[in-house]
Amino acid sequence: MDKQTFRKKVTAFILSEVPQSLVYQLESFGIRMKKGEYWLDLALDNFYQGYCRQDPILRDQYFSEVLAPFIKDLKREGGMNYLDVLNNQDKIYPLLVGAHDIQGIVSTRLLGDLHVAYVLDEGMRIFFLDPPTLLQLNWPLEKLNRIALANLDRDLIKPLQLLDAKRKIFGFNYGDSYDTSRLLSFILKPEEQGLRTRRKLLVMVPNRDVVLFFQPVEKALLRQSMMIGQSSFINNPYPISKAVFQLQDGVMQPCPDLSPFQ
Decide the pairing of beta strands 107-111 and 22-26.
unpaired
pLDDT over 70 (residue 262): no
- What is the identity of the amino acid at 153? D
Q: In what order do the strands lie in the sheet with 201-207?
A: 161-164, 169-172, 210-214, 201-207, 244-248, 251-254
**Using an 8 Å Cβ cutoff, are 110 and 99 in contact?**
no
pLDDT over 90 (residue 120): yes
Alpha-carbon span 192 to 157, nearest angstrom:
11
pLDDT of residue 198: 59
Backbone angles phi, psi at 105, to 5 degrees: -125, 160
pLDDT in tens, 221-248: 888 888 888 888 888 888 898 888 888 7
pLDDT of residue 261: 46
Alpha-carbon span 98 to 213, nearest angstrom:
18
- Please report, rounded to a whole number, the percentage of residues in the chain having pLDDT higher than 90: 44
Alpha-carbon span 177 to 66, nearest angstrom:
17
The pTM of the whole model exceeds 0.85: no
- Helical H runs in 54-122? 59-76, 82-87
Q: What is the mean pLDDT of the chain?
A: 87
Which is nearest to 205 in space by CA: 236, 227, 233?
Answer: 233
Residue/partner pairs of 187-194 with CB below 8 Å, 24 or more apart = 187/110, 187/247, 187/250, 187/251, 187/252, 188/149, 188/250, 189/153, 189/250, 190/249, 190/250, 193/160
pLDDT in tens, 187-210: 776 656 555 555 688 898 999 889
Residue/partner pairs of 100-106 with CB below 8 Å, 24 or more apart = 101/238, 104/130, 104/131, 105/129, 105/130, 105/131, 106/130, 106/131, 106/133, 106/134, 106/141, 106/144
Once rounded to an integer, what is the mean pLDDT over residues 71-94?
91
pLDDT in tens, 6-40: 999 999 999 999 999 999 999 889 999 999 999 99
Q: State the DSSP code for 115.
A: E
Once rounded to an integer, what is the mean pLDDT over residues 108-129?
88
Sign of CA pseudo-dihedral 159, 44, 53, 61: positive
- Beta-carbon neighbour count of residue 72 at 10 Å? 16
- What is the identity of the amino acid at 95? L
- Please report, rounded to a whole number, the percentage of residues in the chain having pLDDT higher than 70: 93
Alpha-carbon span 161 to 249, nearest angstrom:
20
pLDDT of residue 259: 55
pLDDT in tens, 51-80: 999 999 999 999 999 999 899 999 999 888
Which is nearest to 30 in space by CA: 18, 17, 39, 19?
Answer: 39
**Crossing angle of the two packed helices 59-76 and 3-17, in degrees rounded to 10:** 50
Least confident of 118-122, 143-147, 155-159, 205-209: 155-159
